[in-house]
Structure 1
Amino acid sequence: MASQLPPERIPVIVGVGEIADHPKDIAQGLEPLALLDAAVRRAGDDSSAALLREIDSIDIVNFLSWRYHDPEQQLAKRLGVTPRHCFYGPVGGESPIRFIHEAALRIQRGEANVAVVCGAEAQSTATKAARAKLELPWTPFASDAPEPKRGAAFQKPLATQLGIARPITVYPLYEAATAAHWGQTPRQALDESGVLWSRYAQAAAANPNAWIKRAYTPGEITTPSADNRLIAWPYTKLMVANPSVNFGGAVLLTSLAKAREAGIPEGKLIYIHGGASAEEPRDFLARDQFMQSHAQNAVLETIKAMVDGDGRAFDAIELYSCFPVVPKMARRTLGLGDDVQPTVTGGLTFFGAPLNTYMTHAACAMVRKLRDGGKRGLLYGQGGFVTKHHALVVSREAPESALDENVSVQARADAAYGEVPPFVTEVTGDAAIESSTVIYTGRGEVEHGVVVLRTPDGARTLARVPAQDQATLAVLTDLDRTPVGARGAISAGADGVPEWRAS
Structure 2
Amino acid sequence: MTAHYTPILAGVAQYTQPKDVERPLDPMGLMVRVCRAALEDASPERIGDHIDALHVVNLFQWPYRDAPGMLSEALGIRPKGKFYTPIGGNTPQLLVNRACRELASGEVRAVLITGAEAICSVKRALAGRIALDWPESSSPERIDGDNRPGVSQLEADYDLFFPAVMYPLFETALRASSGRGVSGHREYLGRLWERFSRAASENPHAWVRKALSAREITEVTPENRYINYPYTKYMNANINVDQAAAVLMTTEETARRLGIDPGAWVYPLGGADLCDVWNVSRRPRLDASPAIRNASRLALEQAGLDLGDIDFFDIYSCFPSAVQIAMKEIGIPPDDPRDLTVTGGLAFFGGPGNNYSLHGIASAAERIRESRSEKAMVTANGWYITKHSVGIYGGEPPERPWTGQDDSSVQAAIDKEALPEPVEEAEGDMKVEAYVIRHGRDGSPTLGTVIGRLSDGRRALAHIDADAGALEEMERTELVGSTGHVRHAPGRAGNLIRFHGLS
Query: TM-score, normalization: structure 1?
Result: 0.92
Aligned mate of 1:199, from 195, 200, 207:
195
Could you give the per-residue CA deviations for residues 178-205 of structure 1, whole angstroms, max 9, x where no partner exists?
A: 2222333233332222111111111111
- CA-to-aligned-CA distance 1:86-145 (integer Å, 9 cap, x gap): 111111101000111111221111111121111111111112212329652111111575
Instruction: Give the distance between the partners of 2:144 and 2:252, measured in 1 at CA.
Output: 36
**1:146 to partner: Cα distance:** 6.4
Report if the CA contact (8 A) 2:155-2:161 is conserved: yes
Contact 1:471 1:502 in 2 (8 A): no
- Per the alignment, in what secondary structure is the counterpart of residue 133 of structure 2? coil
The 1:157/1:105 distance shift into structure 2, 3 A limit, reads closer
Q: Which amino acid aligns with 1:358?
A: Y
Provide the rounded CA distance (Å) in 2 between the counterparts of 1:150 and 1:170.
21
What whole-Å deviation, never above 9, does each CA across 1:127-180 have from its counterpart, x for those lacking one?
Answer: 221232965211111157569999994534443333222111111111111222
Choose the corresponding residue for 1:252, options 239, 248, 264.
248
Report the Cα distance in structure 2 between the residues aligned to 1:256 and 1:263, rounded to whole angstroms: 10
Which SS does the other structure have where 1:344 is aligned?
coil
CA distance in 2, matches of 1:410, 1:149: 20
Percent of aligned pairs sharing the same letter:
28
Which AA in structure 2 matches 1:347? G
The answer as to whether partners of 1:274 and 1:404 remain within 8 angstroms in 2 is no
Aligned equivalent of 1:261, options 250, 254, 257: 257
Return the offset for 1:265. Answer: 2.5
Alpha-carbon distance, 1:47 to partner: 1.5
Distance 1:419 1:86, change over 3 A: closer
Contact 2:277–2:415, Cα closer than 8 Å, also in 1: no
State the SS of the aligned residue for 2:30: helix
Aligned twin of 2:68: 72
**Structure 2 residue 502 is matched with structure 1 residue 502:** no
Question: Which residue of structure 2 aligns with residue 426 of structure 1?
Answer: 425
Q: Is the 1:172–1:437 Cα contact (8 Å) retained in structure 2? A: yes
Of 328, 341, 344, 1:343 maps to: 341
Q: When the two structures are aligned, how many residues end up with a matched partner?
A: 495
Contact 2:164/2:236 (8 A) holds in 1:
yes
How far apart, in 1, do the equivalents of 2:272 and 2:21 lie? 43
Rounded to whole Å, the distance in 2 between the matches of 1:132 and 1:489 is 49
Name the CA shift for 1:469/1:20 in 2 (closer, same or farther; >3 Å). Answer: closer
Aligned equivalent of 2:218? 222
- 1:309-337 Cα deviation digits (max 9, x unpaired): 74231112110000111111212222222
- 2:354 alignment partner in structure 1: 356
Output the CA distance in 2 between the equivalents of 1:467 and 1:25: 47
RMSD: 2.4
Contact kept in structure 2, 1:318 and 1:345, CA below 8 Å: yes
Which residue of structure 2 aligns with residue 241 of structure 1? 237
Q: How does 1:102-181 map to 2 (within 5 A)?
A: 102-132=98-128, 136-143=132-139, 145=141, 153-181=149-177
Corresponding residue for 2:367? 369
- Going from structure 1 to structure 2, the CA distance change for 1:320 and 1:25 (only over 3 Å counts) comes to closer
1:36 corresponds to: 31
Which AA in structure 2 matches 1:34?
G
- 1:313-324 matches, within 5 Å, as 313-324=309-320
* Kept in 2: contact 1:41–1:49 (CA 8 A): no
Q: Which amino acid aligns with 2:443?
A: G
Partner of 1:18: 14
Q: Distance in 1 between matches of 2:406 and 2:120?
A: 35
**Following the alignment from structure 1 to structure 2, what is the Cα–Cα distance between the partners of residues 342 and 251?**
21
Counterpart of 1:86, as a letter, is K
CA positional deviation for 1:250: 0.4
Alpha-carbon spacing, 1:400–1:148, altered in 2? closer, same or farther (3 Å):
closer
Partner amino acid for 2:290? H
More deviation, 316-325/438-447: 438-447
Shift of the 105–419 alpha-carbon distance from structure 1 to 2, 3 Å rule, reads closer
- Residues 294 and 414, structure 1, Cα contact 8 Å, conserved in 2: no
Q: Which runs of 5+ in 2 are unaligned?
A: none
CA contact (8 A) 1:318 1:380 kept: yes
Give the aligned partner of residue 395 of structure 2. 396
Secondary structure, in 3 states, of the residue corresponding to 2:281? helix
Counterpart of 1:260 in structure 2: which amino acid?
Answer: R
2:101 & 2:392 partners in 1: Cα distance?
A: 14
1:42, distance to aligned residue in structure 2 (A):
0.7
SS class of match (1:435): strand
Structure 2 residue 451 is matched with structure 1 residue 452: yes
Distance 1:443 1:158, change over 3 A: farther
- Contact 2:277 2:418 (C-alpha < 8 Å) held by counterparts: no
Q: Which runs of 5+ in 1 are unaligned?
A: none
Of 147-156 and 77-86, the range deviating more from structure 2: 147-156
My pick for the range that moved more, 177-186 or 486-495, is 486-495
Whole-Å separation in 2 of the counterparts to 1:407 and 1:443: 51
In the aligned structure 2, how far is the partner of 1:422 from the partner of 1:152? 17
Task: For 2:60, give the aligned amino acid.
Answer: L
Question: Residues 375 and 397 of structure 1 are in contact (CA less than 8 Å); yes or no, is this contact kept in structure 2?
Answer: no
Which residue does 1:97 correspond to in 2?
A: 93
**1:471 offset after TM fit, Å?**
3.2
Cα distance in 2 for residues equivalent to 1:46 and 1:309? 29
Match of 1:381 in 2: 380
| Match among 179, 191, 208 for residue 212 of structure 1 | 208
**Kept in 2: contact 1:276–1:407 (CA 8 A):** no
1:296–1:143 Cα change, 3 Å: closer
Structure 1 residues 303 and 103 mapped into 2: Cα distance closer, same or farther (>3 Å)?
Answer: closer
For the structure 1 residues 269 and 284, does the alpha-carbon distance in structure 2 shift closer, same or farther, using more than 3 Å as the test? same
**TM-score, normalised relative to structure 2:** 0.92
What is the Cα deviation at residue 302 of structure 1?
A: 2.3
**Comparing 16-25 with 122-131, which one deviates more in the overlay?**
16-25
Q: CA deviation at 1:452?
A: 1.1
Given that residues 282 and 384 in structure 1 are in contact (C-alpha distance below 8 angstroms), is that contact kept between their aligned partners in structure 2? no
C-alpha distance in structure 2 between counterparts of 1:471 and 1:23, whole Å: 41
Q: Which moves more between the two structures, 280-289 or 392-401?
A: 280-289
Give the aligned residue type for 1:15: G
Counterpart-to-counterpart distance in 1, 2:7 and 2:17:
31
